[in-house]
Amino acid sequence: MKVGFISLGCSKNLIDTEIMIGKFKNNKFEIVSEPQDAEIIVINTCGFIDSAKEEAINTILEMAEYKKQKCKYLIVTGCLVQRYYKDLIKLLPEVDLFIKLEDYNNFWKIVEELIKRNIAIKTKQKLSSKISEMKPLPMATYEEYMERVITTGKNYAYLKIGEGCSNRCTYCAIPYIRGPFVSRKKEEILKEAEMLAKKGIKEIIIIAQDTTKYGIDIYGESKLAELLEEISKVEGIKWIRFLYSYPEGITDELLNVVEKNNKIAKYFDIPIQHISNNILKKMNRKTSKEQIENLIKTIRNKIPEATLRTSLIVGFPGETEEDFEELKEFVKKAKFDKLGTFIYSKEEGTPAEKLPNQIHGNTKKARYNKIMKEQQKISKQNLENKIGKIYEVIIENKSFDGKYYIGRTKQDVPEIDGIVYLKNNKKIDEKEILNEIIKCKVVEVSDYDLIVECI
């Protein structure tokens, strides 16, 4: 049978999807890219914020239309299912199977049972046990899911080092969906890194809800710095980066490793969410304004070439005009290289949902626009400082019109940050540069992207 997949939400979800694809492929199913060709459609959903939920529901309904054609089974899994399992069963009868996160270790057994039951019903055979009677196993630890089908291309892959989150920020539903933070064993992570290297992957992107928490539950202390050192020894891996590192977890040891190890990108993704101590306290964040400012100063003093990225939330309940102005002034002063902003979304079941002084939608959107307008100017100023400098660039594609090769520097996360344009000319041999890391000089910039030439 032919199977198609849709993965929604974050890169952590994408890894789960790649594992599912691997399961089907190992069991001799054919993987297809177009839903009209699929006899089974699997949707891995996100249920984090309202816009993600809406996208997931719309995608399910859209894919359900293919059941009028070739599709025999529609399977839905992921965070939305974990969060609203009983409601979805009632609301979406078009779906043949919903699989919760805690059933991932049973994933293939459940899928097989669905297909067997359908065949049995059609041929009037005796039915085996009900799917609902299968006993759930503990949340997947991924040891048995090592075989993944990489969907991000030839150059990079994500490597998840932990599941869940224990930070309990008042606006976030992740701990209620995914549970507390659980680290993977170092040996299993290194085994997967070696497997990715053998597949020809050049860049490994380390992810978890908070990578700085890695190892605390197993070893009694953070082992992120040590893990990065170990992964850097894997032959074939050229670049390593780690994402989502909360400010309180960035230690001197971690800074030393990033500073000295040439394989590790000098890139810090630090989600601070706000700078007003008033709002940080309401968010149940573990750092203060003063600690955040000191951390930024420390990183820039120790690693001057470091790229700093952050994410912010505007319109959190009780955010006064003074709180917002404090945040805006901080953004102007801090001059982050990369910055993303979220409009606060009231999430069901979170403490922030019940807080007084919820902010009007128009006010939230206006504050979002003001922050991003400031950041646009800052981004261009930061990029203009790169003109004339030389960087390593991985060339990944060609523009639609063929005039440019498209790539990234070591300081750019794929699909999130800016890109690099290398003008195509007769001197460039495509076979020599495509999917290779080459040195380029910056000659021009836009608001978020670089234009370079080979050196």
Under a CB-based contact definition with an 8 Å cutoff, are residues 5 and 31 in contact? yes
The boundaries of every CATH 3.40.50.12160 domain in the chain are: 2-133
Tell me where in the chain the CATH 2.40.50.140 domain(s) lie: 390-454
Q: Which of 439, 332, 443 is nearest to 386 (CA)?
A: 443
CB distance 81 to 53 below 8 Å: no
Provide the pLDDT confidence category of residue 148 given band limits of 50, 70 and 90. confident
- Residue 129 reports pLDDT greater than 60: no
Q: Is the pLDDT of residue 149 over 80?
A: yes
d(CA 408, CA 386): 14
In the 3-class helix/strand/coil scheme, how is the chain assigned residue by residue? CEEEEEECCCHHHHHHHHHHHHHHHHCCCEEECCHHHCCEEEEEECCCCHHHHHHHHHHHHHHHHHHHCCCCEEEEEEHHHHHHHHHHHHHCCCCCEEECHHHHHHHHHHHHHHHHHHHHHHHCCCCCCCHHHCCCCCCCCCHHHCCCCCCCCCCEEEEECEECCCCCCCCCCHHHHHCCCEECCHHHHHHHHHHHHHCCCCEEEEECCCHHHCCHHHHCCCCHHHHHHHHHCCCCCCEEEECCCCHHHCCHHHHHHHHHCCCECCEEECCCECCCHHHHHHCCCCCCHHHHHHHHHHHHHHCCCCEEEEEEEECCCCCCHHHHHHHHHHHHHHCCCEEEEEECCCCCCCHHHHCCCCCCHHHHHHHHHHHHHHHHHHHHHHHHCCCCCEEEEEEEEECCCCCEEEEEECCCCCCCCCCEEEECCCCCCHHHHCCCEEEEEEEEECCCCEEEEEC
Check residues 147 and 241 and name the one with the higher pLDDT: 241
Contact 225, 253 (CB under 8 A): yes
**Lowest-confidence pick of 44-53, 138-147, 154-163, 377-386:** 138-147
Rounded CA-CA distance 336/369 in Å is 17
Cβ neighbours for 56, distance < 8 A, ≥ 6 positions apart: 8, 43, 45, 46, 47, 78, 80
Residue 167 has pLDDT above 50, yes or no: yes
Q: Is the pLDDT of residue 159 over 80?
A: yes
The answer to whether 455 touches 439, Cβ cutoff 8 Å, is yes
Report the percentage of the chain scoring pLDDT > 70. Answer: 94
Give pLDDT, residue 122: 58
How confident is the model over 273-300, as a mean pLDDT? 98
Least confident window among 112-116, 198-202, 269-273, 372-376? 112-116
pTM: 0.91
Q: Whole-number mean pLDDT of the chain? A: 92
What pLDDT, in 10s, does the model give residues 66-92? Answer: 999 999 999 999 999 999 999 999 999
Cα Rg, the chain, nearest whole Å? 23
pLDDT at 136 over 50: no
**Count of alpha carbons within 13 angstroms of residue 19, beta-carbon side:** 25
Q: What percent of the chain has pLDDT over 90?
A: 85
pLDDT score for 134? 36
Sequence-distant (≥ 6) Cβ neighbours of residue 101 within 8 angstroms = 77, 78, 79, 81, 82, 139, 140, 177, 178
What residue type is assigned to position 26 of the chain? N
pLDDT in tens, 204-245: 999 999 999 999 999 999 999 999 999 999 999 999 999 999
The pLDDT of residue 137 is above 70: no
Q: Tell me, what's the pLDDT at 85?
A: 94
Q: What is residue 123's predicted lDDT score, i.e. its pLDDT?
A: 53
In the block, tokens 């800016």 appear at: 418
For residue 227, CA distances in Å to 164, 184, 223 come to 19, 11, 6
Rounded CA-CA distance 183/25 in Å is: 27
Identify the CATH assignment for 390-454 out of 2.30.140.10, 2.102.10.10, 2.40.50.140, 3.40.50.300.
2.40.50.140
Start and end residues for every CATH 3.80.30.20 domain found in the chain: 143-384
Q: What is the CATH number of domain 143-384?
A: 3.80.30.20
Confidence band of 121 (pLDDT split at 50, 70, 90): low
The residue among 40 and 113 whose pLDDT is bigger is: 40
Which CATH number fits the domain 2-133, given the four candidates 3.40.50.12160, 3.30.9.10, 2.60.120.200, 1.20.120.1200? 3.40.50.12160
